[in-house]
Amino acid sequence: MKSVIEYGNKFILAPMVRVGTLPMRLLALEYGADLVYTEEIVDWKLLRAERHENEVLGTVDYIDKTDGTVVFRTCPAERGKVILQIGTASVDRAVAVGRMMQNDVAAIDVNMGCPKDFSIKGGMGVALLYDRPRAKAILEALVESVSIPVTCKIRVMPDPDDTIQLAKELQSTGISAIGVHGRTKTERPRHPVNEDAIARVATALDIPVIANGGSQSITRRHDIVKFAQRCSTTSVMVARAAEWNCSIFRTDGPLPLDDVIRRYLELSVRYDNSPSNTKYCVQMMLRSLQESPIGRRLLDSQTMQQICDIWDLGDYCRDTQLRYHFAGIKGRRACRPRTHSENGDTRTDETEPATSKKQCLEESHQTDSEPLNEENVCFIRSNFTDDNTLPKSKLYLHAVRNGLARAQYEVQQKDKLFRAVIRFDGQRYTSSFWEKNKRYAEQAAALVCLLKRGVESRDELIRNGAMLPTKNTTNGCDGEQNGGCETNGVRSVGVNVNDVIPAVAESC
């Protein structure tokens, strides 16, 4: 039996690239939004993800098998209200995603409005408006295959009559509602939104039409109502205005920006959001204030701790992350490449890229005679204000001062992850933290070498987030430091902001 969503008379958080992750969706719901859309997630990204129930956070996580990043995370607080927007040009992939996700989201929306090159070249987004047979086939297959509502989001065509005809054809597929952005594929936010075109579509269709594109005229909830009235709709999805200050959904009016940022950061810490995604969203809130002293501090931040310190939430961040750590959360630090199976096959499935020759380095090191010194250390660039103090530079100077040969670096690459092994003074050093690029992997290995040789202090590395404390170094905490278990994608203390966020296309 199909579930039903009433799409009329709704205030909705629109799908937005990088913005529509769990903390922002929950913030919008707290402030009065009725429904929330995810950012657009491309179908193949979801299909190579694995579903995990995260007992520590109380969430359901879809984790990219190649690098451990969280592709999608949801929690009970948004159940029945979160709509997954997918980017797709394939009937088969769209149906596979719908079937895989239908128990964790309230509805599926197909992006047919994104004008970015990435989407168009892949036959997705606005390209589907000019390939109507494919667009209709995707929607028809989804409606037939899943037990939750299916919708789509489009842009208006240059000719309003074409827009009406298009919308009627899409309505015939059995979708439950349609979102209409009042700009053409060549128009951008600086262009006025065509409210009349949206109104004509709304009048012509039998299903609810959700008006979109009115952020230039929206600063509070009442403005959303006025925009809906001008577009002859009862429902509106808000993008940029909500991105700037999500409290525009409040009946009692918007809150001061600092209050909104603090609440957003609390949710980001509570749900272990990635530092890079958190930083991006706060930057979008600050807008012109990015050049202010606070904005500059944010720009220089790399860890969640550093971001939270700016808004006096450092203690809350530190305590929460340590509690999660000692509760046994499997975090970014536990992420391991997964292309190697137990039988030696280097491909987990036919959609995965072939492994590189460098991936054999780990196995070859197992036969080396030099001892292997390993610690879980990550490299955080903002901890080093002077290039001369970078770990590799310090290790080089250490070698010169002690008359030792220079360190030799070998880098392993598996999937999208990197780890370096250093040979220095008859021993080998490496970090069990897999970095997202070659340079950082070398710096992390150098930190391990400096730590083991007494040049770096363990307490200092813990203080600046490069290492996590164990129960022996943290008062009042129980549990052991998380080891090398399989990832469920949850990031923990000191995670580097250079960790990539889910790879998604621009959402419009």
Q: Which residues are catalytic?
A: 114
Q: Which of 271, 334, 280, 284 is nearest to 307 (CA)?
A: 280
Edge-to-edge strands, sheet with 70-74: 49-54, 59-64, 70-74
Residues 264, 286: Cα–Cα separation, whole Å: 13
Give, as one character, the DSSP assignment of residue 487: P
Encoded amino acid at 367, one letter? T
For residue 42, give the 3-state DSSP assignment. strand
Whole-Å CA distances, 348 to 276, 337, 363: 28, 11, 18
Per the CB < 8 A criterion, the answer to whether 187 and 143 are in contact is: no
Q: Which of 174, 226, 179 is nearest to 202 (CA)?
A: 179
Q: Which of 71, 75, 135, 127 is nearest to 105 (CA)?
A: 75
Sign of CA dihedral 85, 86, 92, 97: negative
Q: In DSSP terms, which residues pair with 150 in a beta bridge?
A: 108
Give, as one character, the DSSP assignment of residue 189: T
Q: In DSSP terms, which residues pair with 410 in a beta bridge?
A: 421
Whole-Å CA distances, 68 to 51, 272, 375, 414, 432: 12, 14, 20, 12, 14
| Calculated CA dihedral for residues 334, 431, 275, 53, nearest 10 degrees | 0
Residue 70 dihedral angles phi and psi, to the nearest 5°: -80, 115
Give, as one character, the DSSP assignment of residue 291: G
Give, as one character, the DSSP assignment of residue 466: S
